[in-house]
């Protein structure tokens, strides 16, 4: 696949996604002027709603990561002592 075909494919995917999203937004719009207007929200409310929710999610994920992090066991350095087994004869099982 050559570069112009890749660029054309990317542009086509963008256009299709844009029109599909626009169709969904138009379907959600009021059908007539008789539709009651929604409650107006201030910019501060929207900032706290979306920004605070996003920031809260980041904090929650960071806390979960800290709570689930654990220290791995590091065994002590090997010593020079050799332990001998008292009896090395195999056990016979019947």
Q: How far is CA 78 from CA 33, 54, 81, 84, in A?
A: 82, 49, 9, 16
pLDDT per residue as tens, the chain (94 positions): 688 888 899 899 998 888 887 777 666 667 677 777 777 888 898 888 888 888 888 999 999 988 888 777 788 888 777 767 676 666 677 6
pTM of the entire predicted model: 0.36
pLDDT value for 1: 67
């Amino acid at each position: 696949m050559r570069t112009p075909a890749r660029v054309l494919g990317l542009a086509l995917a963008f256009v299709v996604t844009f029109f599909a999203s626009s169709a969904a937004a138009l379907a959600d719009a009021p059908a007539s002027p008789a539709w009651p207007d929604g409650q107006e929200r201030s910019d501060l409310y929207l900032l706290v709603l979306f920004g605070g929710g996003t920031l809260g999610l980041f904090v929650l994920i960071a806390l979960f990561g800290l709570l689930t992090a654990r220290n791995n066991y590091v065994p002590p350095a090997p010593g020079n002592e050799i332990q001998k087994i008292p009896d090395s004869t195999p056990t016979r099982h019947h």
